[in-house]
A and B are shown apart, each in its own frame.
Chain A
Amino acid sequence: MKAKVIITPKPEVLDPQGKTVQTALEHMGCTGVGEVRVGKYIEIEMDGDADTVKAKLSEYADKFLANPNIEDYRLKLED
């Protein structure tokens, strides 16, 4: 199955990139823009049932895919 890992900076952590994109959007006259957070999106093909994949991916994300010091992540599974 295809697993999707969405990684974003922790809410507490400064995100200079998000802040700069937000300011740029405002300068371009784009309205209705609130806080911007720029993260990463990873797609991984995984074998196994949903629970196993979730458990494994959580481990991989904790250990490697995300930086636990500054990033949070969410998992999404697709059949």
Chain B
Amino acid sequence: MSADPAITPELIAEHGLTPEEYERIQEIVGREPNFTELGIFSVMWSEHCSYKNTRALLKGFPVESPRVLVGAGEENAGILDIGDDLAISFKIESHNHPSAVEPFQGAATGVGGIIRDIFTMGARPVCAINSLRFGELDNSEVRRLFRGVVSGIAHYGNCFGIPTVAGEVYFDKSYEGNPLVNAFALGVLRHDQIARGAAKGVGNPVFYVGPATGRDGLAGAAFASQDLTEESAEQQRSAVQVGDPFMEKLCMEACLELLATGAVAGIQDMGAAGLTCSTCETAARGGTGIEIDLAMVPQRSPGMTPYEILLSESQERMLIIVTKGREEEVKRIFDKWDLPWAEIGFVTDTGQMVVKNHGVVVADLPASKLADDAPIYHREAKEPAYLSEVRSFTLAGVEDVEDPTEALEKLLEWPSIASKNWVYRQYDHMVRANTMVNPGSDAAVIRIKADSVPGGDDREDFPEKLVALAVDCNASHVYLDPYEGSKAAVAECARNLACSGATPIGTTDNLNFGNPHNPELFWQLKESVRGLAEGCTAFDAPVTGGNVSLYNQNPDGAIDPTPTVAMAGLVEEERHVTTQWFKEEGDAVILLGEPADTEDALQGLGGSAYLQVVHEAKTGQPPRCNLEIERTLGTTLLGLIQSDLVKSAHDCSEGGLAVALAECTFSDLEARNTPRFLGAEIDLSTVENVRLDALLFGEIHGRVVITTSELDAVKAVERAKLLGVPAQRIGTVGGKQLKLRTSTGEHHWEVVGLHDLWWNSIGNAMA
């Protein structure tokens, strides 16, 4: 056997460990670690696995509610009760750096990883969503990454057979070279089906399931925990992880079938840090020890070292602890599904993670200390210098629009606002026949039926459920005010759920930030977490898990701080499911919330899409987010929906009221190339003391455009007011034009023309 390299300060640094951390390792081990052990520590103590820079902050998140069955950080993903003995498990996770290096496989394996997290909990994955960020589309490299990421997600999700039902995509220069790929999956299970990732039962055999281990993504977790440089990317190229959705589908079916037998004592997927993480975490959770022999691990490449086998991130692999005596059942099921498996070790009572290679000990470490005793850092935070400039920005130098015709067209064509059909038409969003609201409305709604539960559910009268999902983050706002912007991300998510008829029940978040050693970037993170925590508390939507991705920067600087928020909600009855587009000629258009905010010096234009698109300025204090107002808006809107008053509901976000109204007129899609247009006449002439651009394009929060029948209009307005939500009728649905009257004049657009700009913008840029 080739000799391991000697442990030198350089080698320690190369593993991303500080001298202090190395000292701590020596204390824990009670001696010098060997090369393999150093590798193990480096991945387990990377930010990706240990949250060492963020754990202290994340304690601020609300994590409890009566619905929480498995809470944040306990297992691979959280689990929430949705009633009638049913539960959902969901989580979002990033695959940013691998996607920057190899967009197709990076994104594909990101989807694979999150799906595994969900079925590891014993749940059947029933839908996926995602949140993506790229540079601007006039750059050919950006287009290559965008194309690759979308087709990678499509490849994996479509082949696996999970519908990708919603998502968001933004384009901004700050993500050039460092795209964000955040993938979310949701699964369904009964309470009695919850599986645990704990190595229970001394003497129980440990099985390895899935394809052979290669040198794929060697130390990917450590890679994700450093700045993305040309050099680090080059190293990774030699070890791209390749996803095999077909294998994963077999693996899931086999695991769910196996879990139903009761022969499984513990189950854990091999994600980041592969075999290392899964063995020491299961032992740590079980309060036991584990011993494996690498010679038993199926290997794809000849001559792999223990270090390489332990740190490999080959995909679609699972670690399963089997109740002793029931090995034959396990083998029978894996053989049925043609899945490779191997028995590689057993559970011990030593508390140690012992790794042998052909019987020779190559690593012997205390499992719980390795998994749970990573250092916790309280990094220095300092308010970034750019914020003083942001706060001093006024509208003095910004000329108001006289004729908003072109501004609205430009906004609808702006890729961050434009239709994402180029993306979602590549995703199968209907497989499993449960998608009630397809991509293209405020939130997706899926049905939970008997075959959504692992093994099916044989109740005579299965209590079907409706789950709504939204994912949001306006990172421009977060950049300009991390606290307010993060609150607003949560509020927007909740608003989108309410527009679809759902009550929020839980949140998962993906914190995409820059290097935490930079105090200004760490300040962004700290402020953002404070805002998210307040937001989730306000909506009773505890955080059930998530992911932190730091070091998102390229040589030109950090990305805009992007705390992606995904929220799940419940719709009580099928008739409450609501979509954003206008339904019928003659319906009344009502605005819930204030048309203008006179207390905001920038009148809602700070950080707006309008300032970015028309005035080429990404600056200004973004609008404040009042959570009390948002909460009242949400419950009021739901009340109106549940009283059958609301025919459509769409929230105002990027591009303000005018963009929201335009989207209501053209976003209904009957079939391919067959949009359905319904114009409207809108009268805002009574709104005074506000600039025209702010009235139309300002992004003040807490607003939703709804329609009701003519007959119900007064009732809806009065009821909303009674419940404390400002409401006014602003127009009527009808015609083929969007007509807007304001105190300064009248403006109109052909709906078909606006739709064309909005629908084709991204497709044209990618052609």
Contacts and interface: CB of A to CB of B under 8 A. Distances in A.
Contacts of A14: 211, 214, 216, 241-242, 244, 300, 314-315
7 contacts: A12-B238, A13-B216, A14-B242, A14-B300, A19-B244, A69-B105, A70-B105
A10 to B, nearest CB: 9
A20 B246 CA distance: 9
Contact of B246 (A12, A15, A16, A68): A16
A65 B600 CA distance: 54
B8 interface: no
Interface string B79-120: 000000000000000000000011001000000000000000
B301 interface: yes
A76 B315 CA distance: 34
Given A12-B239, A16-B247, 11 more contacts: A12-B214, A12-B301, A13-B242, A14-B242, A14-B315, A16-B244, A16-B246, A19-B211, A70-B102, A70-B105, A70-B240
B338 A13 contact: no
A14 B246 CA distance: 13
A20 B241 CA distance: 17
A70 B216 CA distance: 11
A69 B338 contact: no
A23 interface: yes
Nearest to B216: A14
Interface of A: 11-16, 19-20, 23, 67-70
Which of A14, A20, A23 is packed against the most chain B CB atoms within 10 Å?
Answer: A14
A20 B244 CA distance: 10
Given A14-B244, A69-B237, A23 B338 contact: yes
B215 interface: yes
B444 to A, nearest CB: 29
Nearest to A19: B211
A70 B243 CA distance: 12
B217 to A, nearest CB: 10
A70 B215 contact: no
Interface string B194-219: 00000000000000000100111000
Contacts of A20: 246
B214 to A, nearest CB: 6
Contacts of B215: 12
A15 B216 CA distance: 12
Interface string B221-251: 0000000000000000111111110110000
Contacts of A68: 237
Nearest to B247: A16
Contacts of A16: 211, 242-244, 246-247
A47 to B, nearest CB: 26
B232 to A, nearest CB: 14
Q: For chain B, what secondary structure do more than half of its interface residues adopt (helix, strand, loop), or is it mixed?
A: loop
A67 B144 CA distance: 12
A20 B300 CA distance: 15
Main secondary structure of the interface of A (DSSP, over half): loop
A70 B98 CA distance: 13
B242 A70 contact: yes
Interface string B335-357: 00010000000000000000000
A69 B102 CA distance: 7
Nearest to A13: B242
B428 to A, nearest CB: 19
A69 B300 CA distance: 18
Contacts of B244: 14, 16, 19
Contacts of A19: 211, 244
A15 B242 CA distance: 8
A25 B240 CA distance: 27
B290 to A, nearest CB: 26
B106 to A, nearest CB: 10
A70 B315 CA distance: 15
A8 to B, nearest CB: 14
Contacts of B238: 12
B98 to A, nearest CB: 11
Contacts of A15: 242
Interface in B285-328: 300-301, 314-315
Contacts of A12: 214-215, 238-239, 301
A16 B101 CA distance: 20
Contacts of A13: 214, 216, 240, 242
A64 to B, nearest CB: 11
A27 B681 CA distance: 66
A63 to B, nearest CB: 12
Nearest to A70: B240
Nearest to B244: A16
A72 B338 CA distance: 29
Contacts of A11: 301
A69 B101 contact: yes
Nearest to B236: A69
A11 B243 CA distance: 16
A74 B29 CA distance: 50
Contacts of B315: 14
B103 to A, nearest CB: 10
Nearest to A14: B242
Q: Which 8 A-B pairs have the closest CB atoms?
A: A16-B244, A14-B242, A69-B102, A69-B240, A69-B237, A70-B240, A13-B242, A14-B214
Contacts of B105: 69-70
A55 B244 CA distance: 34
B216, B243, B300: residue with the most chain A Cβ atoms closer than 10 Å = B300
- Scoring A23, A69, A70 by chain B CB atoms within 10 A of each residue's CB, the highest score goes to A69
B127 to A, nearest CB: 24
Residue from A13, A15, A68 with most neighbouring chain B CB atoms (10 Å): A13
Contacts of A23: 338
Contacts of B237: 68-69
A79 B493 CA distance: 63
Interface in B404-459: none
B374 to A, nearest CB: 30
B696 to A, nearest CB: 45
Contacts of B101: 69
Contacts of B102: 67, 69-70
Contacts of A69: 101-102, 105, 237, 240
Nearest to A11: B301
A64 B372 CA distance: 45
B313 to A, nearest CB: 11
Nearest to B243: A16
Contacts of B243: 16
Nearest to B301: A12
